[in-house]
Amino acid sequence: MRDKADYARKGIARGRSCVALQYAGGILLVAPNPSSALHKISEIYDRIGFAAVGRYNEYENLRKAGVTYADITGYQFDRHDVTARGIANWYAQTLGTIFTESPKPFEVEIVVAEVGAQPADDQIYRITFDGSVTDEPGFVAFGGQADQVSAALKERYSDDMSLSEAFAAALSALSAPGNGERTEFAAAQLEVAILDRARDHRTFRRIRGARLEELLAEGRPAPAPAAEAADAEPADAETPAGETPSGSAPPGSASSGTAPGPSGSAPGSSTPPTSSGPSSPSSPPDTEPPTGPAPGGSDRGTGLGGGSPL
């Protein structure tokens, strides 16, 4: 038995870890998977999802058997009688029998998740190669280097996260040191699915394409500020006291080669001399911009000010 357990653990540890976690709108399932045809995440029943790591041919046979079990149970009794707990117990019995009676154990770990009407009704179960089943509240990391991934996920996880926050936490945990060599993932290297609480019947939905790219962009940390912004000199550099910036005359002195005119203005300027009569209070120049559109005009339709949006 010890040799069987060591053999199965080593086979499972060679793969990459997967995670399943709750968020405000349901349950998120994320698995590193470069293949677009061999799925690690699938649907079992209306509100129940399946995720596995290990040997593909072994957990694919288990997935098909689980779908058959759920369909027969729903047909014989009622669709509401098909629960994640019942499927997890059936998987535990099957894997336990294989582990004790077969000369070679299955090199698989399975997660069965069910989304409820309320977050408190969500269920996540982890089934190991020897038939052990555990209830995992909130989140679970399984397969590969599950301990390191689970520790990283625990630091980022919180209740009532949005989908973007949950995906960012899962991505950060899967990129933790010790979970393989790769630290960043592209959209083609991830398999992502959710159990959407808002759906009425079949809640399982895959996330791919543009939506997955958007989640990846939101989940990655913001880039650092441009280095040139820090190295650029300010426009108005400080000038030491007693010195004059080049190209400017000291205050109170006339520029070289020019002399003030009779009225104190530079030669060649078109400013008329001031009258020698008694000074009268001068009105401020009418150079202020208007506070609204010109009379008879309108800025509607230009997209500025009060224009109506398109």
Helix (H) / strand (E) element for 91: namely: helix 84-101
Phi and psi, residue 210, nearest 5° = -65, -35
Q: Collapse the DSSP code of 304 into the 3-class scheme (helix H, G, I; strand E, B; otherwise coil) and give the result.
A: coil
Q: Per the structure block, which two tokens stand in for 289?
A: 């911009």
What are the pLDDT digits (tens) for 16-64?
A: 999 999 999 999 999 999 998 999 999 999 999 999 999 999 999 999 9
Q: Per the structure block, which two tokens stand in for 263?
A: 């009225």
CA distance 45 to 49: 7
Whole-prediction pTM:
0.70
Phi and psi, residue 15, nearest 5° = -85, -170
CA distance 51 to 63: 9
What are the pLDDT digits (tens) for 233-291?
A: 444 444 445 454 444 444 444 444 444 444 444 444 444 444 444 444 444 444 444 44
pLDDT of residue 200: 87
CA distance 171 to 221: 11
pLDDT of residue 255: 43
